[in-house]
Amino acid sequence: MPFLVKLCRNGRGDSCRMKGKSLELGFWPIFMMLTLSVGLSSHVLVLPSVLEVSGRDSWMCGIIAFAIVLPWTLIFVTGTMKRTKQINLGEWLRTRATPFGAWLIIVPTILVLLHSSFQTFVETIAWTSATYLPDTSLLVVMISLLTLIGCAAYSGLRAIAYMSCLLLPAVVILGDFVMSANMPNKNYALLLPMLENGMGPPMHGSLYAISCMMELSAILFIQHHLRGRIKHWQMIIQLAFIMILMLGPTVGALTQFGPAEADKLLFPAFAQWRLVSIGKYIEHVDFFAIYQWLSGAFVRISLGIVITIELIQLRKPIPKVIFITVISSIYMILAFLLLASVNTPELIFRYAFVVEIGVIVCVTSLIWLLSFKGIPKEGGADENPKPRQDGGANNNL
């Protein structure tokens, strides 16, 4: 607990301010939480699809996506946060539009959040049963994972953010370890020739990378938990880190397995752990990948549920418990149905990545337009903007 207390203090040693009953969070806890959530998608979930459609040029997809998403993020995400003064976006929408108009934005957002959460749940269960728990009942695995996630979702955003601060450093260290340990197995000549089939394959694969990076727009719906204003350079760092997380395993898969073999792998990032050995006598250290994957899955699944709870304004304990229980039950039923077919989940999720781009672009564009001019209401959220705190960007924790 002393670590968490220290983490909650700013550079001058002042205690974290309270807004209502919610402790405001600095940039770095939010950064770590979003890195684990979006990082799992870019590092693991979309990698098979990118390798299949882009082949040898898959490593370019993250760079292309970064170049496309960066200006979009600075305009539609940080620009909106600046004009809305980082107040509660759900309440702000209800003051800037009619109830129907507000729900027209909130409902698609909830669907995207729950889909991302559910997709991660299914992929995690499929990977678990295919690798390290093949003889364990799916029901046991699902209940165990959903119990942990349900507790996190009930505890709220602050608990998830602080857990991310504890989980991410080890995840990054293990990622650097697997990258370095596999250097003797890499052949960078396999990355050449570049653009052998033109720009078509990397542009196709960049759609999946764009979908991942655009998930950072979720920060709009938790902006009222942030202390201080988000700066452009902070979002650039966040986006660049996600790009690096995607570039690493993509280059690793291509240089270690080659384009043809990497295309056949169901879990390319995990397969790279299978090659790691320490000296002559230590092998099979792929159990470290379990920590990495479950850390990202824990944050990604629970974060989607928590933001959904905030958007539908469930504040009392009993409604929250009921909602989490219902969502968990739906996840289990749908997961059983999808996992009954070998190819169905992958096919459905591949198309869903592209659909998410359209939904996110539409939602963020509407919010961006409303941030210029809306329908003010008496007693609305705009009458109580989030106060600027002393210290500005220095209060990052």
CA nearest to 355, candidates 4, 108, 23, 81: 108
Examine residue 77 and state whether it is found in any structural domain, yes or no. yes
Mean pLDDT of 129-151: 94
Q: Is the pLDDT of residue 375 over 60?
A: no
AA letter at 311: L
Judged by phi (left if over 0) then psi (alpha if -120 to 50, else beta), residue 270 lies in alpha
Mean pLDDT of 7-35: 62
Question: pLDDT, tens digit, for every residue of 63-86?
Answer: 999 999 999 999 999 999 999 988
Examine residue 43 and state whether it is found in any structural domain, yes or no. yes
Mean pLDDT of 203-208: 93
For tokens 């699944």, the residue is 301
- Give the per-residue pLDDT at 23: 55
Exposed / middle / buried, residue 41 (Cβ in 10 Å: 0-12, 13-18, 19+): buried
- Give the per-residue pLDDT at 284: 83
Q: How far apart are CA 286 and CA 306, in angstroms?
A: 31
- Give the per-residue pLDDT at 346: 66
Question: pLDDT, tens digit, for every residue of 174-187?
Answer: 999 999 999 998 99
DSSP, collapsed to helix, strand or coil, labels residue 67 as: helix
- Give the per-residue pLDDT at 382: 47
Examine residue 9 and state whether it is found in any structural domain, yes or no. no
Examine residue 111 and state whether it is found in any structural domain, yes or no. yes
- Give the per-residue pLDDT at 365: 94
Q: Is the pLDDT of residue 14 over 70?
A: no
The mean predicted confidence, pLDDT, of the chain is: 86
- Give the per-residue pLDDT at 345: 59
- pTM reported for the whole predicted model: 0.86
Number of domains in the chain: 1
CA nearest to 348, candidates 122, 70, 173, 64: 122
Mean pLDDT of 312-336: 94
- Give the per-residue pLDDT at 110: 96
Structural domain for 42, as ranges = 27-188+204-372
* Residue 108: pLDDT band with limits 50, 70, 90: very high
- Give the per-residue pLDDT at 178: 93
Mean pLDDT of 364-391: 61
Examine residue 378 and state whether it is found in any structural domain, yes or no. no
Q: How far apart are CA 53 and CA 156, in angstroms?
A: 38
Examine residue 347 and state whether it is found in any structural domain, yes or no. yes
* Residue 353: pLDDT band with limits 50, 70, 90: confident
Mean pLDDT of 188-202: 92
- List, in sequence order, the alpha helices (H) in the chain: 2-7, 27-40, 47-54, 59-72, 78-84, 89-96, 99-130, 138-155, 157-181, 200-214, 232-264, 268-274, 288-311, 317-339, 344-370
Examine residue 387 and state whether it is found in any structural domain, yes or no. no
Q: How far apart are CA 308 and CA 90, in angstroms?
A: 10
Question: pLDDT, tens digit, for every residue of 232-266?
Answer: 999 999 999 999 999 999 999 999 999 999 988 88
Judged by phi (left if over 0) then psi (alpha if -120 to 50, else beta), residue 283 lies in beta
Residues facing 282 on adjacent strands = 278
CA nearest to 73, candidates 294, 233, 313, 289: 233
Examine residue 395 and state whether it is found in any structural domain, yes or no. no
For tokens 């570049």, the residue is 194
Structure letter (DSSP) for residue 17: P
Q: Is the pLDDT of residue 87 over 60?
A: yes
